[in-house]
Structure 1
Amino acid sequence: MELLQIFILAALQGLTEFLPISSSAHLILAPLVLGYADQGLDFDIAVHVGSLLAVISYFRKEVVSITSDFFRSLVNPRASSADSHLGWMIIVATIPVGLFGLLMKSLVETDLRTPLVIAITTISFGVVLLMVDLLGRHTRDEYSIKWTDALVIGIFQAFAIIPGTSRSGATMTAGLLLGLSREAASRFSFLISIPTILMSGGLVTLELIESANPVEWDSLFIGAGLSFVTAYLCIHFFLRFIEKIGMLPFVIYRLILGVGILYIFLP
C-alpha cells in the first residue's frame, strides 16, 4: 500500500470509528472513490486495533477500576460495586455480537461489502437515530444499565456487523432508546467497543499469522498508529460537545452520504 493511502484510510478510521457514521462504510467506499484497490480486511482490523488502543488509553482509569472491581466481585460477591456491575453489563452487551460475528463472518467479508447495502443501512439507521434522539428521555447514566438493557444494546451492536450501520451509531441509538443521556450512551458505546474489537481483531490476527499469503505488516503498524492518534482526539471532542450539539449533525451527514452513494454507484 502507498503511504498516502495508508494515511487517508487510517485517519478516516480513527475519525469515524467512534462517531455514529460507520467507519466500515468509509473504509469500503474510500478505495472505490479514490481509485485504490480494496485494502482488505486485515488492514481494516489493524486500524480498528489502533482505535481500540485509543479508547483503552482514554478510559484507562475506568478500565482499571471496572476490571479490578469485576474480578474482586468474582472472588467475593459481597464486594460488588457500581464498577463491577458495569463490567458485567459490558460482558452481556458483547455476547450478541460475538455470536452474530461467527455466524455472519464470511457473508460480511463478501456479499455485504457493497454500495447498495451501505446506502440502505446508512440512511435507515440514521433516521432511527434521529427519532430516538428527539424523543428519548436522556435522564439515565451508564451505571443504571440493567442486564436487559445491556442485552438490547448488544443486539443493536450485532446489527452493526452489516457495513454502513455503524457500531457506535447502533449502540448509541439503543442507549438513547432506553433513556440514557447522550454522554452516557456514548461512554457505554465506547466501553463495549473494547471487547468487541479485541474479539474481531484477535480472530483475524490469528488467520493472518496462519495464512500463507504475504502480509504487509509495516502498513498495518503504520495504519494502527495513525488510527490511534485520530481516534483519541475524536473521543475527546465528541464527549465534550455531544450534549450540546446532539445527534442531528451526524444524521444529516448520514443522509447526505447515503443519497450520494445511491447517486454515484447505482445506475
Structure 2
Amino acid sequence: MTWLETLVLGLVQGLTEFLPISSSAHVRIVSELFFGGDAGASYTAVIQLGTELAVLLYFMKDIVRLLRIWFRGLVSAEARQDPDYKLAWYIIIGSLPIAVLGYLFQDAIRTSLRNLWITATVLIVFALLLMVADRLGRQERDNLTLRDSLAMGFAQCLALIPGVSRSGGTLTAGLAVGLRRPQATRYTFLLAIPAVFGAGVFSIFDLFSAEHVGKEASIAQTIVGTGMAFAVGYASIAWLMKYVTTHSYALFVWYRLVIGGAVMLLLTTGTLTPT
C-alpha cells in the first residue's frame, strides 16, 4: 500500500462511516478503482477503529452515563428503573447478533462477499429499502424497546456485506419500527461501538499475519489511516446529527442508486474487476 492510498482511504472511511452509504463499499471501490486492488476487509475493519473513537468522543457524556447506570443497576433495584439502564442492555443485546455472525462467516466476509457485483447490487437494493422506511415509517417514538434493539441488531449484521452500510441497515430498521430519525441515528451510532471495536481489534492480528487477504500496509500506515478516519469521522458525525433533525434520507438514497449503477457500468465495461 502506498502512502497516498493510506491517506485517501482514511479520508474515505471518515467521510462515509456514519452516512448510510456504506464506508466498506467506498473503501473497496476506491482502492480497486484508483489503486489497482482491494485493501482488504481486515485493513478496513482496523481503520474503522478511528471512526469509532470519534463516536466515543462525540457521545462521551452519553456513554459515561450509560456505563454508570448499568453498573449501578447490577446491584440497585432503583437504578434498574432508569430508562438508561434498559438502553445500556439494549446496546449489549443488539450487538450480539453481529458478533456471532461475524465470527461464523469471517472467511466469506474477507473473500467472496467483497465481490463488487454484490456490492453494487446491495447498494441499490438497500437504497430502496431505506427510501421506503424513511417515507412510510411512522416516526412517532423516541424510546427504544427490546424488539427495536433486536430488529436493529440483526439489521446491523447485514453490514458485514460491503454496500449494505452499518448505519443504513440499522437506520432502515429503526425507521421501520417507528423511531424518529434523530433517535434512530443516535442509537445506530451507540450500537456500532461494541461491534466495530470488536471487529477492529480482532482484525489487527489478521492484518499483520501471513493469512491476510488484501494489500500489505505497514504499522505506521495503519496508524495514520486510522487517525485520518478519526479526524474526518468526528466532523461527519456532527454534520449528520444536525442534518437529520430537519431532512429526510432522500439525498443518501439517490447517492446510493447513482454509485451502485456506476459500479455496475464500470464492471460491465471491464474498468473494474469484481474480485
> Do both share a fold (TM > 0.5)?
yes
How far is 1:206 from its partner? 3.5
- CA contact 1:9–1:27 (8 Å) conserved in 2: yes
Q: How does 1:239-254 map to 2 (within 5 A)?
A: 239-254=241-256
Q: Which residue of 1 is the match for residue 272 of structure 2? A: none
Question: Which amino acid counterpart does residue 240 of structure 1 have in structure 2?
Answer: K
- CA contact 1:43–1:223 (8 Å) conserved in 2: no
Q: Which residue of 2 is the match for residue 27 of structure 1? A: 27
Q: Please tell me whether residue 161 in structure 1 is matched to residue 160 in structure 2.
A: yes
How far is 1:36 from its partner? 3.4
Which shows bigger deviation, 207-216 or 54-63?
Answer: 207-216
Q: Which residue of 1 is the match for residue 76 of structure 2? A: 76
Provide the alpha-carbon RMSD of the alignment.
1.6
Distance 2:9 2:151 in 1: 31
Question: Which amino acid counterpart does residue 65 of structure 1 have in structure 2?
Answer: R
How far is 1:35 from its partner? 3.1
Which shows bigger deviation, 210-219 or 113-122?
Answer: 210-219
Q: Which residue of 2 is the match for residue 115 of structure 1? A: 116
How far is 1:266 from its partner? 2.4
Distance 2:98 2:75 in 1: 28
Cα offsets for 1:145-177 (capped at 9, x unmatched): 111111111111111111100010000000000
- CA contact 1:56–1:63 (8 Å) conserved in 2: yes
Q: How does 1:99-248 map to 2 (within 5 A)?
A: 99-141=100-142, 144-208=143-207, 216-248=218-250
Question: Which amino acid counterpart does residue 31 of structure 1 have in structure 2?
Answer: S
Distance 1:220 1:77 in 2: 45
Q: Which residue of 2 is the match for residue 92 of structure 1? A: 93
Question: Which amino acid counterpart does residue 69 of structure 1 have in structure 2?
Answer: I
Distance 1:48 1:9 in 2: 11
Unaligned runs of 5+ in 2: 270-275
- CA contact 1:116–1:266 (8 Å) conserved in 2: no
How far is 1:34 from its partner? 0.5
How far is 1:210 from its partner? 6.2
Question: Which amino acid counterpart does residue 99 of structure 2 have in structure 1?
Answer: G
Cα offsets for 1:191-235 (capped at 9, x unmatched): 011001111012112444665887610001000110001110000
- CA contact 2:5–2:35 (8 Å) conserved in 1: no
Corresponding residue SS for 1:139? coil
- CA contact 2:95–2:194 (8 Å) conserved in 1: yes
Distance 2:48 2:83 in 1: 29
Unaligned runs of 5+ in 1: none
- CA contact 2:25–2:163 (8 Å) conserved in 1: yes
Distance 1:115 1:36 in 2: 14
- CA contact 2:21–2:163 (8 Å) conserved in 1: yes
Corresponding residue SS for 1:112? helix
Q: Which has the higher helix share?
A: 1
Distance 2:219 2:110 in 1: 20
TM-score by length of 2: 0.92
- CA contact 1:89–1:150 (8 Å) conserved in 2: yes
- CA contact 1:120–1:258 (8 Å) conserved in 2: yes
Distance 1:161 1:231 in 2: 20
- CA contact 1:46–1:221 (8 Å) conserved in 2: no
Q: How does 1:36-51 map to 2 (within 5 A)?
A: 36-51=36-51
Distance 2:169 2:245 in 1: 18
Q: Which residue of 1 is the match for residue 263 of structure 2? A: 261
Distance 2:66 2:210 in 1: 36
Which shows bigger deviation, 71-80 or 242-251?
Answer: 71-80
